């Protein structure tokens, strides 16, 4: 049986935050705004004004910075005995996942409002949980996708370019992961088969990224949204999210299990981790040299990692073995055309690293 999931409503555009109140009013009359201190300074006043105009009582909750069970319990306690009807999660991936977790715990509707386009968390029902040492510990799931996703592109245009680069990385991998999952007739994140719709979205996402990523980064450099940035944001937030949840994941995202366990890569942005994972997946697939060279050339253009060193890695063979062992154990690894061992992964990583050295020597 195929299963396709998605948010109930998606809005994107310049100054979209002005629509927040009227959109949230369709979900409830009381809400909390979960955001870190920086994002509260950035969008808190506009969100409050929009909600007040729509008759919504909005209370801010400052997110502590890491999505742990303890942090979510703390925020739930702040909601009191009469929890709000709506949780609005604003910020990057971890804050949005924290808001998701909170909404599930207090049984509230969920609105996500990304202030960066660094990943596709805003559209999904997946929650990635960490410990206090920033190590990935597991994944939780909401009963459904967000009720509302509201994306203000004027805000995202002013975010650091490195964050959009991460979003480009998170988006470009979906074509290759969904292809593998569909190829082995694996289950998607909803536990069903992948519909052709998800594969089409994954390809559209890839094509959009390749056409618009460089110009979108230039728009972020100017701090002003344009059509290229609008398309890139749609790809990195909406297309990418729909593709991965309904299409399935493979080696690229399995790599986060290993990379998050070693110093350096553990602190890298999620989109940069999975982008490196794509280079490993392409090596495992045995892709042609010219195809890999094209991908690596694109990575260089948009600030994506070409080596473990680009992720902050300073270790050696022992740490690479750790990455490979943990990655081989990840559930997504079963969505690949053949069984992959830790030794296979070490060999693939070594080939990626060798290609980076050749490029460096040539330069």
What are the binding residues? 36, 93-97, 115-118, 120, 124, 130, 170, 253, 270
Give the residue ranges of the annotated binding site for NAD(+).
Answer: 36, 93-97, 115-118, 124, 130
Could you list the residues known to form a binding site for glycerol, using ranges.
120, 170, 253, 270
Residues 6+ apart with CB under 8 A from 27: 85, 86, 109, 111, 147, 148
Cα 118 to Cα 111: distance, rounded to the nearest angstrom: 18
Buried b (16+ CB within 10 A) or exposed e, 51-67: beebebebebbebbeeb
Cβ within 8 Å of residue 20, ≥6 positions away: 46, 47, 50, 51, 88, 111, 113, 150
């Amino acid at each position: 049986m195929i299963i396709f999931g998605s948010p109930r409503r998606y809005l994107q555009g310049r100054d979209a935050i002005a629509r927040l109140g009227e959109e949230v009013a369709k979900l409830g009359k009381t809400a909390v705004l979960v955001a870190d201190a920086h994002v509260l300074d950035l969008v808190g006043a506009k969100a409050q004004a929009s909600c007040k105009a729509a008759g919504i009582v909005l209370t801010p909750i400052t997110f502590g910075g890491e999505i742990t069970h303890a942090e979510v319990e703390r925020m739930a306690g702040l909601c009191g005995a009469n929890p709000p009807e709506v949780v609005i999660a604003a910020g990057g991936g971890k804050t949005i996942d924290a808001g998701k977790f909170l909404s599930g715990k207090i049984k509230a509707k969920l609105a996500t409002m990304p202030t960066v386009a660094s990943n596709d968390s805003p559209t999904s029902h997946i929650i990635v949980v960490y410990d206090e040492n920033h190590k990935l510990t597991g994944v939780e799931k909401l009963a459904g996708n967000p009720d509302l996703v509201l994306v203000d592109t004027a805000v995202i245009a002013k975010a650091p370019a490195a964050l959009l680069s991460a979003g480009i990385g998170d988006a470009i991998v979906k074509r290759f992961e969904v292809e593998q999952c569909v190829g082995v007739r694996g289950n998607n994140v909803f536990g069903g088969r992948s519909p052709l719709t998800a594969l089409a979205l994954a390809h559209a996402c890839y094509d959009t990224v390749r056409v618009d990523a460089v110009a979108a980064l230039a728009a972020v450099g100017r701090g002003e949204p344009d059509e290229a940035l609008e398309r890139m944001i749609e790809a990195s937030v909406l297309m990418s999210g729909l593709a991965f949840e309904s299409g399935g994941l493979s080696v690229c995202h399995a790599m986060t299990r290993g990379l998050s366990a070693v110093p350096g890569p553990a602190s890298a942005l999620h989109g940069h981790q999975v982008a490196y994972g794509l280079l490993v997946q392409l090596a495992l697939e045995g892709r042609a040299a010219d195809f890999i060279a094209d991908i690596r050339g694109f990575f260089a253009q948009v600030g994506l990692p070409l080596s473990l060193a680009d992720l902050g890695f300073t270790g050696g063979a022992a740490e690479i073995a750790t990455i490979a062992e943990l990655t081989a154990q990840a559930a997504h690894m079963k969505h690949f055309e053949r069984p992959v061992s830790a030794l296979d992964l070490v060999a693939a990583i070594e080939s990626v690293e060798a290609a980076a050295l050749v490029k460096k020597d040539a330069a």
